[in-house]
Amino acid sequence: MWFPDDDQQVPWQRFLDEVAEAGYEWIELGPYGYLPTDPARLTEETGRRGLTVSAGTVFTSLHRGPEVWDATWEHVSQVAELTRAMNAGHLVVIPSFWRDDKTAELIEPPTLTAEQWRHLSTGMERLGREVRERFGLDIVVHPHADTHIDTEENVARFLDATDAGLVNLCLDTGHYAYCGGDSVKLIETYGERIGYLHLKQVDPEILADVVKNGVPFGPAVQRGVMCEPPNGVPELGPVLTAAQNLDVDLFAIVEQDMYPCPPGRPFPIAERTRRFLRSCGA
């Protein structure tokens, strides 16, 4: 689910039904407004399907400086309020794309200036502090394709510039591999900063063509760059082993970027992926 309202996505009722039928017990809120935003109704809808919410998701552009704080906080506080009401503990924070998320048009430079890096790191620390103090939630920042926190170099720069007591990572294994990163190495190097996981894979052959031809992320997804495990990279068994060696409790949300796709396609993939991850010891 990429957008709050899109006729190329299945209705939220079907989404919840299929998640439960596929054997999963936890979900994220996803794009705010896709699922019901009334806590009482959402609690009823998830509860009768045996589902619990682990996190909400917000989008930020904090590299643009203090002038975007008020608009950012308006969005974040709205999502955080619902996340807290659902007794979840995390906010997944996705940096803004430097391409338009529907047209793939370039909307700002893909690299940040030194000043923008300072705005990003100090803004995320402020966000982590405010979200914890006001809502009791922890933020986990999601390195993502076509954002400024993407490659190994940029992820390390971001982590080194931020306070571990305020800001940690949501490691998305698919996005990190898409951007050339090694998830096991990241877990082993920055284990104390891994606060949350998104488990997915990329097709290495499609990815090679995407990189060679500079294909934007949206069109790359339409080509099938995010694929069903165990057909891609990274190998998820070693990722899970590395995460388990941290000896901490981590949520691991199963995902596959498939927008847009036929409405009947995700469900069998979700069932097979859950069985596969269980076979890896998850």
Q: Does the structure show a pLDDT above 90 at 102?
A: no
Condensed to tens digits (0 to 9), the pLDDT of residues 155-167 reads 999 999 999 999 9
Question: Looking at the domain covering 12-280, what would its CATH class be?
Answer: alpha beta
pLDDT band at 281 (very low <50, low <70, confident <90, very high): confident
Condensed to tens digits (0 to 9), the pLDDT of residues 202-247 reads 999 999 999 999 999 999 999 999 999 999 999 999 999 999 999 9
Domain ranges in the chain are: 12-280
Provide CB contacts within 8 A for 250, sequence distance 6+: 194, 195, 196, 197, 243
185 to 157, 190, 191: CA distances (angstroms) = 15, 8, 9
pLDDT band at 1 (very low <50, low <70, confident <90, very high): confident
Q: Where are the beta strands (DSSP E) in the chain?
A: 26-28, 52-60, 90-95, 138-141, 168-172, 194-199, 201-202, 226-227, 252-254
pLDDT band at 103 (very low <50, low <70, confident <90, very high): confident
Q: Does the structure show a pLDDT above 90 at 17?
A: yes
Cis peptide before 39 (omega within 30 of 0): no
What is the per-residue burial (b if ≥16 Cβ within 10 Å, else e) of 9-48? bbebeebbebbbebebebbbbbbbebbbbeeeebbebbee
pLDDT of residue 100: 82
pLDDT of residue 152: 98
